[in-house]
Structure 1
Amino acid sequence: MKMKLKKEQHNGIAYNYFDSTSDKVCFMFSGTGYTYEKPLLYYSTALMLELGYDVVQVCYTFDPQQFEQEPEAISEMVYNAANPIVNYILSTKSYTEAVYIGKSLGTLAIIDFYMQQPSLVPSRYVLLTPLLALEHIMQNLLEKQTFLAIGTADPHYSKERLEQLSSHELAIVENADHSLEIATNTVESIIICQSLLTALKAYLQ
């Protein structure tokens, strides 16, 4: 990426900040092992910069035993790590628009908190492989609008549950796993990444 990132820290949590001097901002929340160097998040970052957004990648880390909590507590844990950074960034500029992009673990805070509360600025939400198998996640997604991408080989994929989410922009990828890749087909995985980024760009424009 041509835009030089600044490695910052706020409230004890690290974050990467790409400042394109924009009045629009994108907050990114990674997965447990799916970090910002992985294809979908790397190219999502590049796309958001291409579309003229500042980008903030929240770099939280958690101990393995912290994932032994109930799902709602894990969601709150992620939110409590990310939200001080979100509030701080929103206080530094007069932003007119925000986009929240989450992958797996990162979608929890978006679905359970940011989508449920009044936003400081008009916001849109992008959910990459959300944990649809969790009942409270499904309940919090009903009657909402997002861009949602998931593969049919993802353990959290459910045709029945997705049919309940007709208000969402759905990108359902045949045979793709929880990384939105096909493990035995490298070229096809690259094509999937391209098609998802094309659909995401159309959704955001």
Structure 2
Amino acid sequence: MKKLQKTAKTKRSEIAYTHIQTGGNQVCFMFSGLGYHYDKPLFYYLIMLMIESKIDVVQVHYSYQRDFLQLDSKRVTEEMLNDVTPVVSEVLQHNSYQNTLFVGKSLGTIPIVNGFMQNDRFAEATMILLTPLLKLDEIANSIAASKHNGLLVIGDKDQHFDEKCLNQLEKTNFHSLIIKNGNHSLDDVNNDSLASIQSMSIIIKNLQKLTIAL
């Protein structure tokens, strides 16, 4: 296994990314949340799962201010795609992969839903949406209209939880995993450590089933 630190040129400057190479023929692009980075528990075990499954991992290291999400959604999407697209293009240009996965957490689901899911090049890609911002109409509508296979994970105590939206996803190829008492970090809302660990195990087991099916 190799862990490479690289940069890609963007319209503004350049952006750093980490490319973990397992020798496999699949790649998973990861987009972190605003405050939920790749060293957090869910990403830590998700990365471990990908390595175990011989799936290469690409972590994009963008950074935005706390008020970034207060911008117009179109501008948020545009800025994020300007940052992450050069990384995706560079990695795919220099490597031959048979399957592509995208994983986003909260903010990181925006370029997936508003960008890559609408790009014919990634029509066969698997999408993993962790705590997406379902109360934003364009996010909910885009997921509901998607034909992609994927997994959506959200806690029922998350401020972005939307039962109506999740019911609409029953008509899609997305499997919805609802974490009981889970907050936006997918931890137990009552600070029950054991319950949080059990939820993490449930999430990883569902992700494992998804990777096995690829």
TM-score with structure 2 setting the length: 0.90
Q: Conserved in 2, the CA contact under 8 Å of 1:133 and 1:156?
A: yes
> Cα distance, 1:165 vs. partner?
0.8
Query: Is 1:157 the counterpart of 2:155 in the alignment?
Result: no
> In structure 2, how many angstroms separate the alpha carbons of the residues matched to 1:132 and 1:47?
26
Q: Secondary structure of 2:19's match?
A: strand
Runs of 4+ in 1 over 4 A off after TM superposition: none
> In structure 2, how many angstroms separate the alpha carbons of the residues matched to 1:136 and 1:65?
20
> Cα distance, 1:55 vs. partner?
0.5
Q: Conserved in 1, the CA contact under 8 Å of 2:116 and 2:122?
A: no
> In structure 2, how many angstroms separate the alpha carbons of the residues matched to 1:4 and 1:136?
38
> Cα distance, 1:136 vs. partner?
0.5
Letter in 2 for 1:174: K
> In structure 2, how many angstroms separate the alpha carbons of the residues matched to 1:120 and 1:143?
15
> Cα distance, 1:8 vs. partner?
1.4
Q: Conserved in 2, the CA contact under 8 Å of 1:151 and 1:157?
A: yes
* Aligned twin of 1:195: 202
Cα distance change of structure 1 residues 185 and 110 upon mapping to structure 2, 3 Å threshold = same
Q: Conserved in 2, the CA contact under 8 Å of 1:111 and 1:137?
A: yes
* Aligned twin of 1:68: 70
> Cα distance, 1:19 vs. partner?
1.0
| 1:177 pairs with one of 166, 177, 183 | 183
> In structure 1, how many angstroms separate the alpha carbons of the residues matched to 2:3 and 2:114?
29
Q: Conserved in 1, the CA contact under 8 Å of 2:117 and 2:123?
A: no
Map 1:100-111 to 2 at 5 A: 100-111=102-113
* Unaligned runs of at least 5 residues, structure 2: none
* Aligned twin of 2:138: 136
* Aligned twin of 1:91: 93
Provide the aligned C-alpha RMSD in A: 1.4
> Cα distance, 1:78 vs. partner?
1.3
TM-score with structure 1 setting the length: 0.94
- How many residues align? The count is 203
Deviates more, 1:104-113 or 1:140-149: 140-149
* Aligned twin of 1:37: 39
Q: Conserved in 2, the CA contact under 8 Å of 1:130 and 1:150?
A: yes
Q: Secondary structure of 2:109's match?
A: helix
Map 1:111-122 to 2 at 5 A: 111-119=113-121, 122=124
| 1:6 pairs with one of 4, 8, 16 | 4
Q: Conserved in 2, the CA contact under 8 Å of 1:40 and 1:193?
A: yes
> In structure 2, how many angstroms separate the alpha carbons of the residues matched to 1:142 and 1:119?
19
> In structure 2, how many angstroms separate the alpha carbons of the residues matched to 1:121 and 1:68?
30
> In structure 2, how many angstroms separate the alpha carbons of the residues matched to 1:178 and 1:131?
10
Q: Secondary structure of 2:141's match?
A: helix
Q: Conserved in 1, the CA contact under 8 Å of 2:8 and 2:86?
A: yes
> Cα distance, 1:64 vs. partner?
3.8
Q: Secondary structure of 2:23's match?
A: coil
> Cα distance, 1:120 vs. partner?
5.5
* Aligned twin of 1:80: 82
